[in-house]
Structure 1
Amino acid sequence: MSRHFDQAKGLAENHDPQTHDFVFNQTMMRIKDPQRSLKFYSEVMGMTLVKRLDFPEMKFTLYFMAALSPEQRQQWSTDHDERITQTFSRPAMLELTHNWGDEDKEDVDFHSGNSEPKGFGHIGFAVPDLEAACKRFEQHRVEFQKRPQDGNMKGIAFIKDPDGYWIEIFTPEKLPKLLSEHL
C-alpha cells in the first residue's frame, strides 16, 4: 500500500522514520518596509506576530507571523526562550525578513515569481466565505491580481501584499466542485 494519498512520478514510497517528526515550519519572504507589511499581515490577514528577532551585527530583522485563533494565542509563552522554541516548532508560518535600510532605497524591489523568470508563485489562505473576505479586502484597499469572478478559474481570488507577493484566497468547501470543472 502506498504511503501517499495520490500518485505522481518521482514519489518515494520509503518513509524514513527519521523524518516522522519533521515539521514544515516557515516560508520566508523579503519585505521592504516592515511597518506596511506588518500592518497588512496583522490587520488585513489577521495574523499574529509570534516572535521578532533582531540581528544588529548583520542588520536585519525576522518577523514570524502565524494565523492564530484567540484561543491559540493564549497557549503561547511569555518566556523568551520558550517562545523561540514554540516559534520554530509550529507549522505553516511566514518569516518576513527585513534588511535594515531597504525601506529608504528606491531601487529595492522583490520578484514575486509570477513574471519571467518564474519561480515562487504564491501563498494561500483558506477563508470561510470568499465573497465576504473579498469585500473586506476592498475596504482595506488591497490590490487584487484576480477577483473571484475573473479568469478561467472562477471562485478563487488572488490579492497582493505590499511587496507584490500573491496570496491565493479560497473557501475549501467550494474547491471540489470548482476543481472538478477543470480536471
Structure 2
Amino acid sequence: MSSTTTNTATYKFNHTMFRIKDPKVSLPFYENVLGMEMFKESPGGDFTNYFLAFPAGFEDKANASKEEKAKMQLNREGVLELCHNWGTESDASFKGYASGNDEPGRGFGHIAITVDDLEAACKRFDDLGVKFKKRPEEGKMRHTAFIYDPDGYWVEIIGQTKL
C-alpha cells in the first residue's frame, strides 16, 4: 500500500459507459428524447466515445463551448459515455450488446433520470414512439416508468416530488 493519503469526501461518481450499436440512432435518443447534451466526442483507433450530460449540470457554464464543457467533464457528476465500436452499425450478424437484464449476463440493471412531471414525460415518450418496459400504472411501483433505449438498455423515469 502507498503511504499517500486521499480524501474520499472529494470523490464523485463521474460516469457510466454503455456500448452502442449505432450512434446515428443512440445519440438522437439521448439528446432529443431525454434532453441530454453531447459535449465531447473522442475517437479512438476503432471506436468513438461520446460523452453526454444534462445541461443543468454545467450550472453557470451553460453558455460554454463544447471544448470548455469537455474540460469540465471530470469535475462533474452524471455523465453518460456511449462507446461505438466501428462497424457494428452495418454488421448484419451483430446481435447487439447484453443489457444486463437478461440471461446470459444478468447483472447491470438500468440508469435513472428524474423528470418534472412523470405523466407528461410518459405522454411525450408515447408521442415520440419510445418503447416502454413498464408504465407508471403497471406493477407495484406507481411512481416510476421504465423505457428502452435503442440498444435495449433500461432507463428508469422517476417523477420529482415536491417538498
Fold agreement, TM-score > 0.5: yes
Q: Deviation digits for residues 14-63 of structure 1, max 9, x if unmatched? A: xx8522221111000000000110000000000001111111xx211110
Q: CA deviation at 1:154?
A: 1.8
Tell me the distance in 1 between the aligned counterparts of 2:69 and 2:118.
33
Q: CA deviation at 1:73?
A: 7.8
**1:45-124 pair list within 5 angstroms:** 45-55=34-44, 58-69=45-56, 72=59, 74-75=61-62, 77-78=64-65, 80=67, 82-106=68-92, 107-116=94-103, 117-124=105-112
Q: Secondary structure at the match of 1:88?
A: helix
Name the counterpart of 1:21. Answer: 10
Q: TM-score, normalised by structure 1?
A: 0.78
Q: Any conservation in 1 of the 2:48–2:86 contact (CA below 8 Å)?
A: yes
Tell me the distance in 2 between the aligned counterparts of 1:137 and 1:29.
21
Q: Which has the larger radius of gyration?
A: 1
The verdict on how the C-alpha distance between 1:151 and 1:62 changes in structure 2, with shifts beyond 3 A counting, is same
Letter in structure 1 aligned against 2:76: R
**1:167-182 pair list within 5 angstroms:** 167-173=155-161
Q: Report the identity percentage.
A: 46
Q: Secondary structure at the match of 1:20?
A: helix
Structure 1, unmatched stretches of 5+, are: 1-15, 175-183
2:139 aligned to 135, 151, 163, which one? 151
Letter in structure 1 aligned against 2:124: R
Name the counterpart of 2:29. Answer: 40
Tell me the distance in 1 between the aligned counterparts of 2:41 and 2:28.
15
The verdict on how the C-alpha distance between 1:31 and 1:170 changes in structure 2, with shifts beyond 3 A counting, is same
Runs of 4+ in 1 over 4 A off after TM superposition: none
Structure 2, unmatched stretches of 5+, are: none
Name the counterpart of 1:178. Answer: none
- Structural RMSD (CA): 2.3
Q: Any conservation in 1 of the 2:22–2:84 contact (CA below 8 Å)?
A: yes
Instruction: Report how many residues are paired.
Output: 157
More strand as a share of residues: 2
Residue 31 in 1 paired to residue 23 in 2? no
Q: Secondary structure at the match of 2:26?
A: helix
Q: TM-score, normalised by structure 2?
A: 0.87
Q: Secondary structure at the match of 1:53?
A: strand
